[in-house]
Amino acid sequence: MIDQYGNEISWLPNLGKKKEPKYISIATCIEEDITKGILEAGFRLPPQRIIANYLGINHTTVTRAYRLCEEKGLIKGVTGKGTFVTSHAGIPQNLLTENNSNIIEMGMVLPLYEQNKLIESYLKEIYHEIDYSEVLSYVPPEGHIKHRYITSKWLRQFDLDCPTEQIIITSGSQNALAVILTSLFKRGDRIIVDEYTYTGLITLSRLLGIILIPVKTNEDGIDIDDLNATCSRENAKGIYLIPDCHNPTTAVIPNEKRKEIGQIIIDHNLLLIEENLFIFANQNPDTRPISDYAKDNSIFIVGTSKSINPAFRISYIVSPKKHVNELTHGLNSLSWMTSPLNAEILAHILNTSKYNQIVSEKLSLLKKRNQLVDTILCDYRLIPNERSLYRYLALPSSISDKEIEHSCLREGVQVFSSKRFAAGTQPNKNGIRLSVSGPKSIEELMKGLEILRNVLKTKSKASPII
């Protein structure tokens, strides 16, 4: 089909007998055709006026439909270029797959279950020390003051000097994100993110109708020039960053760049959500949190699932005073409170040498596993990191990362394409995130890596990355 301006139109919505309001029907058509594979990632949708003329409706009706799809994360408008289907539209965002004993798990980042025996021995000790009269009852939504005090003391080792009253205990980091987004943002608000980012944020933003604005990412983190341009162009309210061991690329933002980002956040009055689930594995103890450079504009999330164990579901929000009440009310509305029993167990671990023992053993295991990754995949480009729970394998344009993911799964290994983490419409990277901590043993990791290497070698036009 050719419009009156000579442009070829390859797709138009088929409303059929849909009875809901027109803008919802159009949005439903877009979503259904993405699900069916008719509209693929990067597809440029017709201009809104074309659809309006074709359907004989008001232009603003189509605008509402496009806005609804953008809030769902299905499409993204790019100034001066058009509206495109996002890269992650139609791709499963739930990374936690069914427990299949025949599959080597190198997709999901797990906390090294090899350590469970050590955790179990600590639990047996701790259960005799718990004051059950204190933890078997309701506590304030933000958590017991004793647990928050111990957290405050523990966080000082990471250069986070935060008063007890500015700490909120949550049921894991995804709960922390949900509390922050529902308490401080509203539908249609925009948050700047790396072009590849944490899938939990992508799915949560889509659920809440919050729009993610991707910014180019380099090997040392978010691109400063593109960040400045995006802040000037977009009316963004927030920015979400993972400065240490970025997920999925493992990039680490250097201190000088963190300082620049802090200033940009202040200049544009952005609210920073800084998430650091892997702070325990930071290879440069001299780096400071970005929050340090924009204290009044920053919320910090630190989790314990990867450093200790996910069973406790404990994470901590560090907030400026001005947002504490809003976040506490938000937590109260979503989950009332985090389990005081779990918080008590974590407080015991954090307040004794047990935490350092767990982390020391975990880092030793990770170092051995990462050395194995570097050895087996030495012909390919891996971003260096000897302590990470996952690695990013960059691929040449001749190899499809989606195809590698599917081929590996057929061979019994789960890895994840970088497209799962894409926040934009046309990602410029082609890579695989592989979990170093997922396999049950170093022997299983070796087997999985060898399968991955063989899959890479057998792909057409495959060549070592220079």
Q: What is the predicted pLDDT for the residue at 427?
A: 65
Q: Are residues 343 and 406 in the same domain?
A: no
Q: Are residues 416 and 299 in the same domain?
A: no
The number of folded domains in the chain is: 3
Range of the domain at 450: 104-110+358-458
Q: Are residues 344 and 299 in the same domain?
A: yes
CATH code at position 323:
3.40.640.10
Q: Crossing angle, helix 354-376 and helix 442-458, to 10 degrees? A: 30
Please state, in angstroms and rounded to a whole number, the distance separating the CA atoms of residues 91 and 340: 37
Final residue before a domain boundary, out of 352, 386, 415:
352
Q: Are residues 343 and 363 in the same domain?
A: no
Q: Are residues 403 and 312 in the same domain?
A: no
pLDDT lower than 50: segments of the chain: 96, 99, 460, 462-466
Q: What is the predicted pLDDT for the residue at 398?
A: 82
Q: Are 326 and 183 in contact (CB under 8 A)?
A: yes
414, part of any domain: yes
- Give the tens place of pLDDT for each residue, 213-239: 999 998 899 999 999 999 999 999 999
61, part of any domain: yes
Q: What is the predicted pLDDT for the residue at 365?
A: 96
Q: Are 295 and 137 in contact (CB under 8 A)?
A: no
Q: pTM, whole model, 2 decimals? A: 0.80
Q: Are residues 397 and 448 in the same domain?
A: yes
- Give the tens place of pLDDT for each residue, 304-323: 999 999 999 999 999 999 99
Q: What is the predicted pLDDT for the residue at 462?
A: 47
CATH code at position 454:
3.90.1150.10
Helix, strand, or coil (residue 350): helix
Q: Are residues 239 and 345 in the same domain?
A: yes
Q: What is the predicted pLDDT for the residue at 396?
A: 84
380: CB partners within 8 A, 6+ apart: 393, 394, 395, 456, 464, 465
Q: What is the predicted pLDDT for the residue at 149?
A: 96
Peptide bond into 289 cis (omega under 30): no
Q: Are residues 401 and 454 in the same domain?
A: yes
Q: Are residues 386 and 285 in the same domain?
A: no
1, part of any domain: no
328, part of any domain: yes
